[in-house]
Every structure is written in structure tokens, then in C-alpha cells.
Structure 1
Amino acid sequence: MRAIMPTKTNIMLTYIVLVFIWASTPLAIVWSVSDLNVLWAMVLRFFIALPLAVIILFVLRVKFPTDKIAVHSYIAGSFSLIGSQVFTYIATQYLSSGIIALMFGLAPIIAGLIGCFAFGQQLNRLQWLGMAIAITGLAVICVGGASQHIHPLGIGLMLISVFTYCCSIYWVKKVNADVQPIAQATGSILISTLVSLCLLPFIWAHAPTHIPEIKSLMALLYTTIMASLIAMFCYFKLVKNIQPTTLSLTNVMTPILALVIGALFNHERISLMVVIGAMIILSGLFLYFYRDIQANRRFSQHMKQQLRQK
């Protein structure tokens, strides 16, 4: 028996929650590794998240399918967790939290390129122009951030992370398993935890030898509960109900919020060149989605007219 389709209001609220969590998660990741090895912080995140996800599954009495298609979907979803996050955590050594979030803002463009070359989706001239402008903005950030906590290696790691995340969106959508969002999140966390176990022999020498400071612990709990559980529930719920490129729009909204959060709570300095580069990237993204924005506006106006006539 398939789940009931959520309402538009429900989807909108889910969207807002996801944007807020993803805007604050980069700073939480940076804080969590302040007193922990970067990969240990990631591994502990999944070790804590898994039992919590299982408890939620039992409390809500949600069915957890283990058939071939469901397992395939869990594996696909894990690429948006450990598949993507392993590069993000390593990148924290080279980038500030705001720049990490800004890099995820490129997800719509990368998702569009995957759709174009892998699935034959057509991109218009305005979208190609938007891509070119966004890449120019990224180059400006690389040059302008040379004297700050912005390193080309970190940029490269984040590009791999975002690419893996975008592939996961399409993969889960293509599998289209009849799995509820919380079960999908739990299954993907389970796969991520199993992969984490395989990493332990390589990072055992860097195992924590003391209890981390309170800021690092609280940030670890935040990434576990908010980013690994609540955000993943929202994410897989949206994957089931909206288009991949529309889902990627969440990453357009988070960069500015993340830059502000990083500046306010972590005293991250933002140079003029980085601000200019960020504005160029966001301008490119605006052009990329200009036709979609116009189409949504016309649809909203049409619906208002129909309501008035009634």
C-alpha cells in the first residue's frame, strides 16, 4: 500500500526546514572537527545516527522493506550521505563553513549537467550562460580567497562532494522504490554506517583519546540529529515528490544564510572578492533558473485568477 501524497503546504514547510538545516550544517561540521579528527567526526555521526533512526522507525511503526529494490535505493541514498560527506569533512581543513555551503549552491548546475549528458535533458541558452557566469564567480572566489581560509584543494574536494550528492538524487529517483522517507533515510544511514566500519582500520590511529570539548560535542549531535536524521527525512521526502533540479534549488538559498551564520557565530572573515564571487555565482544561478521562476510566477497568477472567478 503506497503512502498518501503530502499536500503542497506540507512540501513547502519541508522545503523551508531543509534550507535552514543545510544553511547551519556546514558550521556545525566545522565545529565538530575542531576537537576531533575529521573522519572520526564523520564516522561517529553515523554511529550515533543509526540507533536513533531505528528507534524512530519502531516508534512510528514504519515498515522497513529489505527487498532488492529497497536495498538498491538505500545504497543510492547513501551516496548523498557518506559518499558526499567524506569529501566535505576533508574539505573543512581548507575551507570556511560559508564557502562549503556556497559550493553546494552549485548543485543545481551540476544536476543540470548530469541531466543533460546522462539523461538527454535539454538546456537552453540562458541556462548555459548561467553556468558560465557561476563558474566565473567560482574562479573569482579561488583567486580572492587565496589569502584566507580558501584553498583550491578544498574547492576540488567540494566539487566531488556536490557531484556525488547530485548523482544520488537522480539515482534514488530512478530506482523509485516504494519506501517511506524515514525508512529510506534509515536504510541510507545503515549503508553509510557499514561503509564507516570499513574506514576504521585506516583511521584507528587517530581515534579520540579524550572527551571532546562541549562545542565539538554539541556540533556533532547537531549534525547527527538535524543533518543526518531530520534533514535526510525531509530530503528523501522531497526526492519522492519534486523534480531533481527543483530539489537542488534548496542549495541556492543556503549559501547567503550560511555565510551570515559563519560570520556571526564563527567570526569568519569574508573578503570583498569572496563577496563579489558569491554574488556572481548567485547571479548565474538566477539566470539558470530564470525561465522556471517565470513559469512558476505565471502559474501562480493563473491560479489566483481562477480562485477569484470562483
Structure 2
Amino acid sequence: MSDKGAQAGVNSPASKRWLLIVPWLFVVLWSTGFIGARYGLPYSEPFTFLSWRMAFNILVFILLLMIFRIRLPGELSLWKQQAIAGCLIHGAYLGGVFSAIETGAPAGLTALMVSLQPILTGLVMTMAYGSSPDNRQWAGLIAGISGVALVLTGGQADLLGGGLLRWSEMTWILIALVGITIGTLYQKHYCKPQPVLTASLIQYIASLPLMLFMALVLGESGVVEWHPELIAALVWSVLILSVGAVLLLMQMIQMGEATRTASYFYLVPPFTALEAWWLFDERLTPVALAGMSLTVFGVYWVNKTKSP
């Protein structure tokens, strides 16, 4: 197909409609990852569940590589880079999120706390590279942190003692937040480009031994009750999240959404909180809703690109 033909296809009414649908579909699918944890964890301990998820991810992505005839890289350095990124992004992030929810943290609040990743990323970049945020970004930082305080306390003076999180839950959330932050920074600055399918497969291969090791260290029994809800959560996590959401993200970038993709992640916490309220009756007080809105706005404002 000629360049003009390809451009015409992208600009066709059907393509434009699909371009509008894809980001919202991605946000909805991505937000259900926290809900899937709530459905699966009653029947399996967190790292045992994640071990099964990594194993099935590996099988599915091997099949995808065979279908698309993509070969794994031969350079050992490429394997090492993605292995480190995978242990941080999948091991620390997923392990922290699942463990937090397993110990009782609300799914909506967990999603909100982890969404502070762009703020933490900005702080790490400032300390590591000396790139200080401007006044607009500092305003976003303050707004985001203030929103989290409102959600955590519900407007009360006691931050954690009578709030929504215990210290154990907060620790796991911080592990997830730091893991996804350092992992994405490492992948961005130290990992050489390679096909998304091969990079994802290597990350899952590296993450499986880590999940098994953490299950052993934490004394998990490894017993799984193969309840229909657990099976559904596992199938959803593998096919919809690990495959579907990633492929949608790739299509968003290919369709010209690369510069706007990050902003859609800010919509994940509200969607997750609404899903948790609807499915699990997790409370949404007016103060918490206001804090959530303030946090989402703050994270967006920190990363908002100035108009030229």
C-alpha cells in the first residue's frame, strides 16, 4: 500500500472512531487488574497466583511469537536488561499490589496510591539528573500529595491509625510504587529497543522464578483452590491484561497516540474505585472522591506538556 493509501486509511471515519475507542477500552481493561486480584486471592496466596499467571503468560507469548514468526534476541545483554526490568515491573509491582490487596487494602485506594508513579518518577529524575520541576509541576506535586492525604484520612486528622490503610498494607503498596517507578525508568534509559512481544516474554521468564522464590520465603503453602472465580481471574489476567491491554497500548502508539498515552493512565484509579464500589461495596465518601479527583489532577498537571 502506498503512503497516501495508508494515510487515507488512518484518516478514514472508521479509523477515527476506532482511534477514539481504543484509549478508553485500554483504560477499562487496565483498571480491572486490581479487581481481578480481589477475585483470585480468596482461593490462592498472592505469589502462588502470580506464579501461575507468569507461567501461563510465558506459554501464551511463546505461541504469539510462533504465530507472528518473531525470534528471541541472541544477545545476552538484551536478555539481562529485560530480566531486570521484568523483576521490577512484574515482580515488585504485581507482587506488591497483590500482597497489599490480600492483606486487606481496598482495591480503589491501592490503584490510587500506585498512580503516584509519575510524581515519584519526577522526584527521582530531579535527584538523579538535576532536572528540577518548574512551578507548574511543583503545583501538581502538592495537589497530588494533598489528594492522597484526603483519601487516606477521609478528612480526619489521624493519617494511618484510624485511616484506611495499615502499615503492612502501606509497605506493600510502596514496594509496588517504587518497583514500577524504578522499573520503567530502567527500561526507558538502559534497555535497548526490541519487539514488545520478545521483551514481554523475557520479562515473564525472569519474573516466574522470582514469584516462586517469594512464595517460598513468605511461607506460602502453594495450595490453590481451583474455584471458578479464581480460574476466571487467571484467564482474565493472562489474556485480557497481559495480552489484550498490551496489544491495545501498541496500537495506540502506532495510531499516533504516543504523546497522549500517558494521560490515559491517570483515568485508571477512578475507574478502579468505581468498579470496587460497584462490585465489593468499598466506600466512596465525598471527601475521598474529592481527594481522588485532586490526586488525578495533580498527577496529570505534573506531566502536562506545555503548549508550544
Q: TM-score, normalised by structure 1?
A: 0.80
Change (3 A) 1:73 1:13: farther
Tell me, in whole angstroms, the C-alpha distance in 1 between the residues paired with 2:250 and 2:104: 29
One-letter identity of the residue aligned with 1:139? A
2:280 maps to a residue whose letter is N
Give runs of aligned pairs for residues 134-283 of structure 1, distance below 5 A: 134-144=144-154, 150-202=165-217, 205-208=220-223, 211-232=225-246, 248-283=262-297
Aligned mates of 1:111, 1:237 — CA distance in 2: 25
Paired position in structure 2 for 1:84: 93
Most deviating of 242-251 and 187-196: 242-251
Partner of 1:52: 60
Identity %: 14
Shift of 1:147: 6.0
Rounded Cα–Cα distance in structure 1 between residues aligned with 2:250 and 2:230: 27
Distance 1:34 1:206 in 2: 14
Deviations 1:269-290 (A, max 9, x none): 2223322221221232243244
SS in 2 for 1:63: coil
CA contact (8 A) 2:90 2:207 kept: yes
Change in Cα spacing, 1:239 to 1:29, as seen in structure 2 (3 Å) is farther
- Residue in 2 that maps onto 1:96: 106
Q: 1:112 to 1:244 in 2, by over 3 A?
A: farther
272-281 vs 253-262, which deviates more?
272-281
Whichever residue aligns with residue 216 of structure 1, its letter is L
Q: Distance in 1 between matches of 2:250 and 2:277?
A: 30
- Does structure 1 residue 35 correspond to structure 2 residue 43? yes
CA–CA distance in structure 2, aligned partners of residues 97 and 224 of structure 1: 19
Match of 1:303 in 2: none
How many Å separate the matches in 2 of 1:125 and 1:37? 44
Q: After alignment, is 278-287 or 182-191 more displaced? A: 278-287
CA distance in 2, matches of 1:202, 1:108: 31
Check 1:242–1:66 CA distance in 2 against 1; reply closer, same or farther (3 A cut).
Answer: farther
Asked if 1 retains the 8 angstrom alpha-carbon contact of 2:45 and 2:220, the reply is no
Which structure 1 residue ranges, 5 or more long, are not aligned?
1-6, 299-310
Contact 1:83-1:161 at 8 Å conserved across structures: yes
Q: 1:241 to 1:173 in 2, by over 3 A?
A: farther
* 8 Å CA contact retained: 1:141, 1:273: yes
**Counterparts of 1:239 and 1:202, CA distance in 2:** 39
2:72 is aligned with 1:64: yes
SS of equivalent to 1:206: coil
The residue type paired with residue 28 of structure 1 is G
Shift of 1:241: 11
User: Structure 2: any 5+ residue segments left out of the alignment?
Assistant: 1-9, 155-159
Give the distance between the partners of 2:238 and 2:135, measured in 1 at CA: 41
CA RMSD of aligned residues (A): 3.2
Distance 1:200 1:38, change over 3 A: closer
Map of 1:132 onto structure 2: 142
Aligned 8 A contact 1:185 1:232 in 2: no
Name the stretch that deviates more: 92-101 or 25-34.
92-101
Alignment: residue pair count: 287
Residues 252 and 261 of structure 2 are in contact (CA less than 8 Å); yes or no, is this contact kept in structure 1?
yes
CA distance in 2 between counterparts of 1:105 and 1:242 reads 24
Aligned-residue offset at 1:157: 2.3
Q: Normalised by the size of structure 2, how large is the TM-score?
A: 0.80
